[in-house]
Structure 1
Amino acid sequence: MRQLLTGARIFTGETILDGRSLLVGDGRILDIVAPGRTLPDIDRTVALEAGDLLAPGFIDIQVNGGGGVLFNERPTLEATLAIAAAHRRFGTTGLLPTIITDTPECHRAAAEAAVAAVAQPGSGVLGIHFEGPFISPQRVGAHDPRFVRAPDGADLDFIGGLPGRMPGGRVLLTLAPECVEDAALSRLMAAGVILSVGHTMASAERVVEAFDLGVRGVTHLYNAMPGIANRQPGPAGAALADGRPWCGLIADGHHVHPLMMRAALAARPRGRMMLVTDAMPPTGTDADRFELNGRTIYRRDGRLVLADGTLAGADLDMATAVRNAGTLIGLPLEESLRMASLYPAEFLGMAGERGRIAPGWRADLVLLRPDLTVKGTWVEGEWRAS
């Protein structure tokens, strides 16, 4: 069905256009239409509010849960779809359900769920993110240290085999590069796995070596890694000084001080910082606690914490992250939106498909009110109100 979306402003991924309409059909963007142009064969015209903004749908590469569901507790197809549905209310049209450090059985079940979800049209599931278990025992954060380990041959076969079973999907693995040998890193990347540095005690030199090998990302910059010091810059210092990797940023005002977020953006090339939520089950609910590997996580004053105050994921959705990028960091709206859509798409190798509004690109869109709350989304051209 060919639909013409009219009335709202359009953010293309580069600039905001006024007075244009958007033609979509068969799950794709067909054209950006100038005023006064006559179009034949329109099945439906949708009048949008003049003050609203059409933007590329948000892409979140780090989502542990939502809608009351924790992926580690329910590594099933139904859980991945429930998590995606919960985050769609906040403008996220594509995400990577994220399984943190757990048993091999849990990881394998999560992988099967993701393979099935990617194959389901309109699911909004883009693949899977393994955050661990190949991480530093000194930087586990809320991960269960019982399950932290180095990869063996069976792990490499399993993870390396997933991209071939997930056409169009992505497999992201967060690891500590000091805990994984170069040969294993290269083997995984050759199989199509995207690697990211995180939960690490690595030296800056070791992190740069990982970037040299082709590691593409840094997971939740500053968090679960040593702080920057003048003689020991560590992973975060390496990330700020090296223009190659994409860095995820949890812009909730709790994980990273706003000044440090501004410092990161000032240091890094444009296009290499992404907003992530690191969201947990309370997103989209009024729950005040949940269980993670037998431990209670409390929702307190916008934070998710263990009893000792350790941060355990974030009480954040992507629309709030976009708003915070403006209010806490001082970014222009266009750049905040790119950090939630275009840049993660580029990190995942999905540029040309997602992250822009242009002819031929997927009709994955978010409709924002003037206050940047979400009115609704289109995924593959199908509308759903928030």
Structure 2
Amino acid sequence: MKITAKKVLTSAGWAEKQTVEVNKQHIVSIRQANDDELNQCLDGYLIPGFFDTQVNGGGGILFNATTSYEGICQMADAHLQYGTTSMLPTIITDNADVMAKAADAISACIAQQHPQIAGVHFEGPFLSVAKKGVHSAELIRPPSDRELAILCRKDIGRVLTTLAPEHTDAGLIRELVSENVVVALGHTNASYEQARAALDAGASGFTHLYNAMSAMTSRAPGVVGAALSDEDSFCGLIVDHHHVHPASARAAIRAKSAGRMMLVTDAMAHVGSSLTRMPFFDREIMRSGDKLTTADGTLAGSCLDMLGAVINTHRDLGFTLEQAVMMAAATPAAFMGLAQQQGSLAPGQQASMLLLDSASLQIRQTWLAGKAVNLPRRSES
């Protein structure tokens, strides 16, 4: 298969009138188009598909409530229409049985080589009650041997866990990292020093920067200060303008760079569905416009999609489209140790690509692992 486009975002930057050659699931070459190929040239921007490391739900499905292969497929389909070609289905703090069922469902996806499922994100339960957000305080707890064994399974792809370092021993972080678990700090009230110790032990990321973590002040940098001052770690950022003020988001991206800041949705079941109300443990999550909250006003994930995050970052925060796409594709792939397989358009990469309209930036065509995808019609937002 050959795809020729007027502008292609390669791993080296934008290139004009390029032909991308695909063999089965992978890109084999990107080169200047010849005259015959220019007759089939697509108008728009050809970019890599997006990689979302924090997907709680979509298509009316919440992963915690539907821990099955079929449920994951429904979530993945919902997010695919917004450009997410790779994702980590995310389990919010829950009991060990739910964690085990989630791992089994992810294992089935990996065994079936589902092209969108790169692994799993366990957001909790080893968190801080003081910074629990919408997580259930009753389910937050120290790690057990069973739960650690679930995190260290070798049949569930890449594993990301979010934990609070003030309640997790540095030795345990080292052990998890030695088992190829990616450790991020989040839902934490840790001091700067505690966060720094966790980074030194092998933690490499921060979950939804600013939200549910100790703030940065002049004399107490907190977790936010540890994140922004560290050159090597990665940060997730929810650019829906509800979780983080645009000025704060802009400052954080400038501090970290597009190579270390990644866009995430923290999406709930509402994405890709008409759902407005959803039961969540002993509460209810309600949608008002593009904002999700519980009855007391607590933010409860988002109804943001990755295309919306990219457009918000580009148009509202003022970063280039290339930078915004990097934060949605190459950077999360690098965070999860998958930079050699996905996240950019280059030979050897998985051929998951998007063609964006050059004016509206809406998706005109999607290719998933080398196959053109017919997406459902949707209203543009």
**TM-score for both structures, normalised by structure 1:** 0.94
* Identity, % of aligned positions: 41
In structure 2, C-alpha distance between the alignment counterparts of 1:13 and 1:373, rounded to whole Å: 22
In structure 2, C-alpha distance between the alignment counterparts of 1:87 and 1:247, rounded to whole Å: 21
Unaligned runs of 5+ in 1: 40-44
Consecutive aligned runs of 4 or more in structure 1 exceeding 6 Å deviation: none
Number of residue pairs matched?
A: 374
Kept in 2: contact 1:6–1:46 (CA 8 A): no
Residue 267 of structure 1 pairs with residue 255 of structure 2: yes
Partner of 1:23: 21
What whole-Å deviation, never above 9, does each CA across 1:24-68 have from its counterpart, x for those lacking one?
1111101113132789xxxxx994531x11111100000000000
Residue 128 of structure 1 pairs with residue 116 of structure 2: no
Relative distance call for 1:250 and 1:149 in structure 2 (3 A) is same
2:104 to 97, 100, 112: 112
Amino acid at match of 1:10: V
Partner of 2:155: 165
Residue 245 of structure 1 pairs with residue 233 of structure 2: yes
Residue 192 of structure 1 pairs with residue 180 of structure 2: yes
1:375 CA drift (Å): 2.1
Kept in 1: contact 2:263–2:309 (CA 8 A): yes
In structure 2, C-alpha distance between the alignment counterparts of 1:48 and 1:306, rounded to whole Å: 48
SS at match of 1:22: strand
In structure 2, C-alpha distance between the alignment counterparts of 1:148 and 1:46, rounded to whole Å: 59
SS at match of 1:19: strand
In structure 2, C-alpha distance between the alignment counterparts of 1:199 and 1:185, rounded to whole Å: 16
Kept in 1: contact 2:110–2:155 (CA 8 A): no
1:93 CA drift (Å): 0.3
1:192 CA drift (Å): 0.9
In structure 2, C-alpha distance between the alignment counterparts of 1:301 and 1:89, rounded to whole Å: 20
Amino acid at match of 2:9: F
Relative distance call for 1:7 and 1:262 in structure 2 (3 A) is closer
1:263 CA drift (Å): 1.2
Relative distance call for 1:289 and 1:46 in structure 2 (3 A) is farther
Partner of 2:65: 73
1:227 CA drift (Å): 2.1
In structure 2, C-alpha distance between the alignment counterparts of 1:46 and 1:242, rounded to whole Å: 48
**TM-score for both structures, normalised by structure 2:** 0.95
- Residues 1-386 of structure 1 aligned to structure 2 (within 5 Å): 3-36=1-34, 47=40, 49-50=42-43, 52-160=44-152, 162=153, 164-166=154-156, 169-370=157-358, 371-386=360-375
Partner of 1:42: none
1:326 CA drift (Å): 1.2
C-alpha RMSD of the superposition: 1.6
Kept in 1: contact 2:103–2:150 (CA 8 A): no
